[in-house]
């Protein structure tokens, strides 16, 4: 049986041959220059999700003692930093490239510089975004008493095997993946701008700075103040055990089940019965207490969801949005955060007296949500595409 070649699954057709395995120590050197005389007071942190960020910006304050930074390492642009703290997002600890200017980092981190005459920096940065190097780290780690940290000696760390193609192939891979990153950045910015636009428009609608007109071009009547209990029947969902649900929609389990979770818009599974149709739900207990959502169609919801029912058309996107602008002020934060039915019923909101005007506003906001959702799907699809590329374009 022939030995498996040291080549990636996905490769540009002009390249062939096996990749050469190098040790990290042969393509890099450690940087351990201390911040003597407090040359810099800009403290960086190595985040599993956001990479190298300014501690001041990330936490909105200085976490490190500004009078005791002399023992911190100086970090320059394009240095690489390994953080031994593990998490769900970085199971062996994050290893990221510094794209900021000069700053300092905790001596708990390992700082090293890549020899860019041998290795393309964009290539090796992407390599460390894969899981290819994780097995080595797990094999040599000594967790000891700290289960949240990888305990690895510097000597073992620099022995990490790094598979490398020719410099030309490195550059081709890096250039391609950079174009994917650019697409992700563009979609992220586009989504943020649209969300910002929606927020600004809603503020103007709620303050009545922007008013819609009827189909004949005439003005609608003045807005009125109403208690939630005056326009809705208020109830809540039922307890439903997770094993009774299906995680996939099918002919037997076709009704969505909503809970208080934030991921997937609160969707937690599917059930074979429904409780409600076309209602607004809100989270009654927990960190997300007060969050309101319009639920279209037939659905089931758990007991941590309050439900607002209306047969007069008040259960629409506009009312859901205006509730989200006021409910947090009514949440009780004594112990576990709560917004119970009686409190919700007493909340007053100012709304159009005309259901037609409400519907026009709701349709407008829904159209914006649809655009945001489409961009979000594109963004997630591109991220998944990149994730697959990273695992297949490296050895």
pLDDT per position as a tens digit, 318-334 = 999 999 999 999 999 99
Looking at the predicted structure, is the pLDDT value of residue 5 above 80? no
CB neighbour burial string for 84-106, b if at least 16 within 10 angstroms, e if fewer: bebeeebebbbbbbbebeebbbb
Gap between the Cα atoms of 74 and 179, Å rounded = 31
CB neighbour burial string for 144-178, b if at least 16 within 10 angstroms, e if fewer: eeeeebbebeeeebbebebbbbeeebbebbbeebe
- Residue 254: its pLDDT value, please? 96
- Residue 62: its pLDDT value, please? 61
- Residue 148: its pLDDT value, please? 84
- Residue 315: its pLDDT value, please? 96
Domains 20-164 and 223-352 share a fold: yes
- Residue 154: its pLDDT value, please? 92
**Contacts of 282 by beta carbon, 8 Å cutoff, 6+ apart:** 290, 291, 292, 293, 305, 306, 308, 323, 327, 339, 344
CATH 3.90.220.20 at 223-352, yes or no: yes
3 state SS of 52: strand
Averaged pLDDT for residues 180-194: 97
Q: Would strands 267-271 and 255-258 be described as parallel, antiparallel, or unpaired?
A: antiparallel
pLDDT bracket for residue 146 (50, 70, 90): low
238 or 148, greater pLDDT: 238
Averaged pLDDT for residues 201-226: 94
**Contacts of 135 by beta carbon, 8 Å cutoff, 6+ apart:** none
3 state SS of 277: strand
pLDDT tens string 25-36: 999 999 999 998
> Residue 59 in contact with residue 44, Cβ under 8 Å?
no
Dihedral of alpha carbons 35, 40, 41, 44, sign: negative
Q: How many residues in the chain?
A: 395
DSSP string, 230-261: HH-EEEE-----GGGSBSS--SSS-EEEE-S-
CB neighbourhood size of 114 (10 A): 21
Written as six digits, the tokens of 88 are 């769900």
Gap between the Cα atoms of 67 and 117, Å rounded = 38
Domain ranges of the chain: 20-164, 167-214+353-395, 223-352
Looking at the predicted structure, is the pLDDT value of residue 377 above 90? yes
Gap between the Cα atoms of 307 and 309, Å rounded = 6
CATH number of 167-214+353-395: 1.10.287.1120
CA dihedral (366, 368, 374, 375) in degrees, to 10, reads: -150
Global pTM reads 0.82
pLDDT tens string 269-300: 999 999 999 999 999 998 899 999 999 999 99
Name the class of domain 20-164. alpha beta
pLDDT bracket for residue 261 (50, 70, 90): confident
């Amino acid at each position: 049986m022939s030995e498996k070649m040291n080549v990636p699954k996905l490769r540009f057709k002009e390249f062939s041959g096996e990749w050469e395995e190098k040790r990290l120590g042969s393509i890099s050197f450690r940087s351990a220059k201390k911040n003597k005389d407090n040359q810099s007071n800009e403290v960086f942190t190595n985040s599993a999700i956001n990479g190298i960020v300014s501690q001041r910006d990330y936490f909105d304050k200085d976490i490190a003692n500004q009078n005791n930074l002399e023992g911190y390492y100086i970090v320059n642009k394009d240095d690489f930093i390994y953080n031994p703290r593990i998490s769900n997002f970085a199971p062996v600890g994050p290893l990221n490239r510094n794209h900021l200017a000069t700053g300092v980092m905790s001596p708990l981190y390992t700082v090293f510089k890549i020899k860019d005459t041998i290795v393309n920096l964009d290539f090796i940065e992407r390599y460390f975004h894969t899981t290819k190097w994780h097995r080595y780290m797990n094999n040599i780690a000594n967790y000891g008493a700290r289960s949240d940290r990888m305990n690895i000696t510097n000597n073992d760390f620099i022995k990490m095997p790094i598979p490398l193609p020719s410099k030309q192939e490195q550059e081709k891979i890096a250039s391609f993946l950079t174009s994917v990153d650019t697409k992700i950045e563009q979609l992220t910015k586009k989504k943020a701008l649209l969300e910002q636009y929606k927020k600004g428009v809603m503020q103007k609608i709620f303050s009545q700075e922007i008013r819609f007109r009827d189909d004949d071009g005439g003005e609608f009547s003045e807005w009125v103040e109403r208690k939630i209990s005056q326009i809705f029947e208020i109830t809540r969902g039922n307890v439903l055990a997770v094993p009774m649900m299906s995680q996939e929609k099918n002919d037997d389990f076709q009704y969505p089940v909503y809970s208080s979770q934030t991921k997937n818009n609160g969707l937690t599974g599917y059930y074979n019965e429904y409780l409600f149709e076309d209602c607004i739900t809100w989270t009654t207990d927990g960190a997300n207490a007060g969050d309101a959502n319009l639920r279209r169609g037939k659905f089931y919801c758990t007991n941590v969801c309050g439900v607002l029912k209306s047969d007069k058309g008040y259960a629409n996107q506009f009312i859901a949005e205006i509730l989200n602008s006021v409910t947090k002020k009514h949440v009780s934060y004594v112990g576990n955060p709560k917004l119970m039915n009686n409190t919700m019923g007493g909340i007053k909101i100012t709304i159009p007296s005309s259901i037609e005007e409400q519907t026009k506003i709701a349709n407008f906001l829904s159209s914006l949500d649809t655009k945001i959702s489409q961009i979000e799907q594109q963004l997630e699809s591109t991220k998944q595409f990149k994730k697959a590329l990273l695992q297949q374009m490296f050895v």
